[in-house]
Structure 1
Amino acid sequence: MKVVICLNTAWNLVNFRAGLIRALVAAGYEVAAVAPDDKYADGLKALGCRFVPLHMENGGTNPVQDAMLTWRFLRLFTHERPDVYLGYTVKPNVYGSLAAHIMGIPVINNIAGLGAVFIRGGLLVRVVRWLYRTALKRSAKVFFQNPDDRALFIEGGLVRAEVTELLPGSGIDLTRFVPVPLSSCAALNVSSRTRTGIQNASKSSIADQVRNDDSGSFRFLLISRMLRDKGVGEYVEAARQLRQRWSLAEFCLLGFLDVQNPAAISRAEMEAWVAEGVVNYLGVSDDVRTQIATADCVVLPSYREGTPRTLLEAAAMARPIITTDAVGCREVVDDGVNGYLCQVRDAKNLADKMEQMLRLSPDQRTEMGLRGRAKMEAEFDEQIVIDKYLAAIAQLTNRSRP
């Protein structure tokens, strides 16, 4: 039995679907991993699958290019003859599914978030809705990562309710993302004297103690593609407000710049923020664990998500979290328990929540992080996702056998 799994980048396959690919291979399936070729494609070989490059314009809306993409999918399926097609991200979900339906190949979709188009509205949303309705009409299973997106698709007539199911995001590998004590953070170089003082201080005096100690800093970290829809602008503005009172607080950003997206932050804009001294841009990383381990708090003020993987990773490593009370984000944080929820598109409210985090003692932040780890173990274990996929694929392949 052969499974084709397709995403919009090989990086996405390696970083977010490695566990599923390994599990499929271990279960005896031949796996063809399909994506545009990039420097991360070689990493797929170690997972036991075969990489098949497929060109697609991820940020484009040209109907001629999209028609050509459907044709490329048809050619791919004619050659591969898979028993099941797994689609992720918009274009593989839409054009890959359309081609698979034409070929009579069972389809399992994963709607991991609705992206910039659904956030902005307008004519393009109506076009995308029609494309989704057409593409998902004959899908055997459609997984959603939060109940809001699922309800939106069902109520909008984009998908049949009986084929839908919820997943805890992409899940998190709890053996790879493990708790790291805050006291071991390289960025938190506060002396033992100062750390003890902070633990024993009243909330009103904590800010002064941290400001006046030159031995270390408190590191906030935002991990995402550098898009306005991820709340990057609000994060930068919140950093401006906080640096006036917390001179040793550090505000870092990690993720891709200049992505193909209308909401992309330009390199020039990022360089201007760095030159201003308000944030520190860390570039990109093939292993975010090293950066999460140096953070005291992970922040994602996104406008809308499926279920943000970076927050799952941070919580699994016992980091307290600040994110928005928005679709997909609120599922990861129990407000005041393992982090704080802030208002969407509100830099001042975000700054207030970040200051609340700064005013906690190290013990309080540690406890908050450990509660986040417990939440990941109870609700977001990657094995939950893998088991649901294996069950769905087994059911489909049994049906398709002669």
Structure 2
Amino acid sequence: MRIAVISNTSWYLVNFRRNLMLALMADGHEVIAVSPEDEYTTHLISSGIRHEAVPLSGSGTQWLTELRSVLCLRRVFQNNRVDVVLSNTPKGNLYSAIACMSLGIRFIPNVSGLGRAFIQTSFVTRIARLLYRLTFRYAHRVFFQNLDDQDIFLRSGLVLPGRYERLPGSGVDVDRFCAAPWVERDTDAPVFLLVARMLWDKGVGEFIDAARLVRGKYPMSTFHLLGAADSDNPASIGRDQIDAWQAEGIVRYLGKTDDVRPHIAHADAVVLPSYREGVPRTLLEAAAMARPVITTDAPGCKDTVIDGQTGLRCKARDAPGLASAMLRFAAMDKASRVGMGERGRARVVREFDEQIVIDRYREALASLQR
């Protein structure tokens, strides 16, 4: 089959879907990566994956621009005689579904989070729900990454019974993200690492406020931010704000990286106080490297941790609650931290191995050929 795999960035396809595409190519399928051209497009091409560029922004709302994106997708699917589309991200799912329905092409969307529109209910939320209702009922199968999103779609009638299933996130390459030795330090004060785009919705503000509280009791504790800043997302945190936090001495900004492993290995705990996720890959990667994680009870985030066993949880949008969880971790001895990390690694290998996700896609595609 000719399979198009679509997202609103080449970065996403490289980091979350490259191994899937390579596996499908090894099965004999013709795979086309569809995304805007960016600095990561060359990584797709160098991997032997064919790429088609389309204009598909992550946060635009100008209807003429959005319509152009749908028409471009339709043209790419039609010109390449695509048989099935595998989509990701809110816009990628909705726009590719519209394009597929106009051409009679089968599509399998992956709900990897509901995006900002579902964090702050608005007119955009109502439009998104309407588009989901009009399109997802015709999907061959809908993959959900967490039960909260799945329940929303079922209660709202946005997906048909028997046409959906849950995946363990995007999965993790547990061989590449292997258990890392712990760093020997002169103090028990931990190093906390937040890995995410620098967005308010990721809980970066709560991380900073909690850091101030934690340092009141453990002044030697260290707090790092790792991830891209200055995006076009409305929730983006500007570099001026990040620089101000650094000048205050509360946090160190590490910028962005194509390889998070050295940073995770240096940390004692990886923190993500996000308001909503699909299933955050960064926390699964941290757990795969045997690092405890601290996150919120928000949809998607809570799936990544068993509270008190593989990490710690707190309420979303609650800096004091986050600080309390971080203080609990800081009070642990090294053996307890290591044990927590080992249990997290074992759970990821058992439940979130990327191969599980790849096999489920293979099963869905095989059902199309019966």
| TM-score normalised according to structure 2 size | 0.98
Letter paired with 2:140: A
Partner of 1:274: 246
Confirm whether residue 63 of structure 1 aligns to residue 59 of structure 2: no
Aligned runs of 1:203-222 on 2, under 5 Å? 210=188, 218-222=190-194
Would you say the 8 A contact 1:243–1:249 is kept in 2? yes
Letter paired with 2:284: L
- C-alpha distance in 2, partners of 1:26/1:378? 25
Confirm whether residue 326 of structure 1 aligns to residue 322 of structure 2: no
Residue 391 of structure 1, aligned match among 346, 363, 366:
363
Aligned runs of 1:20-59 on 2, under 5 Å? 20-59=20-59
What SS class does the counterpart of residue 357 from structure 2 fall into? helix
Confirm whether residue 137 of structure 1 aligns to residue 137 of structure 2: yes
Letter paired with 2:174: L
Q: Deviations over 1:86-139 (max 9, x none)?
A: 111111111111111111111000000012110111222111101111221211
Partner of 1:227: 199
Letter paired with 1:189: R
What SS class does the counterpart of residue 302 from structure 2 fall into? coil
Confirm whether residue 189 of structure 1 aligns to residue 185 of structure 2: yes
Confirm whether residue 369 of structure 1 aligns to residue 341 of structure 2: yes
Letter paired with 1:30: E
Confirm whether residue 108 of structure 1 aligns to residue 108 of structure 2: yes
- C-alpha distance in 1, partners of 2:227/2:32? 27
Report deviation, 1:218.
Answer: 2.5
Structure 1 residue runs without a partner (length 5+): 195-209, 211-216
Partner of 1:125: 125
Partner of 2:234: 262
- C-alpha distance in 1, partners of 2:167/2:317? 27
- C-alpha distance in 2, partners of 1:52/1:266? 32
Report deviation, 1:334.
Answer: 0.5
Confirm whether residue 342 of structure 1 aligns to residue 314 of structure 2: yes
Would you say the 8 A contact 1:235–1:350 is kept in 2? yes
Confirm whether residue 173 of structure 1 aligns to residue 169 of structure 2: no
What SS class does the counterpart of residue 233 from structure 1 fall into? helix
Partner of 1:91: 91
Would you say the 8 A contact 1:174–1:382 is kept in 2? yes
Confirm whether residue 355 of structure 1 aligns to residue 351 of structure 2: no
Report deviation, 1:169.
Answer: 0.1
- C-alpha distance in 2, partners of 1:262/1:134? 27
- C-alpha distance in 1, partners of 2:84/2:47? 19
Would you say the 8 A contact 1:95–1:135 is kept in 2? no
What RMSD, in angstroms, separates the aligned Cα atoms of the two structures?
1.2
- C-alpha distance in 2, partners of 1:140/1:265? 38
Letter paired with 1:156: S
- C-alpha distance in 1, partners of 2:159/2:228? 32
Report deviation, 1:161.
Answer: 2.3
- C-alpha distance in 2, partners of 1:124/1:303? 18
Would you say the 8 A contact 1:93–1:135 is kept in 2? no
Partner of 1:286: 258
**Larger Cα Rg: Structure 1 or Structure 2?**
1
- C-alpha distance in 1, partners of 2:166/2:79? 32
Report deviation, 1:30.
Answer: 1.0
Partner of 2:164: 164
Would you say the 8 A contact 1:2–1:30 is kept in 2? yes
Partner of 1:214: none
Report deviation, 1:260.
Answer: 2.1
- C-alpha distance in 2, partners of 1:388/1:77? 23
Partner of 1:200: none
| TM-score normalised according to structure 1 size | 0.90
Report deviation, 1:312.
Answer: 0.4
Report deviation, 1:47.
Answer: 3.0
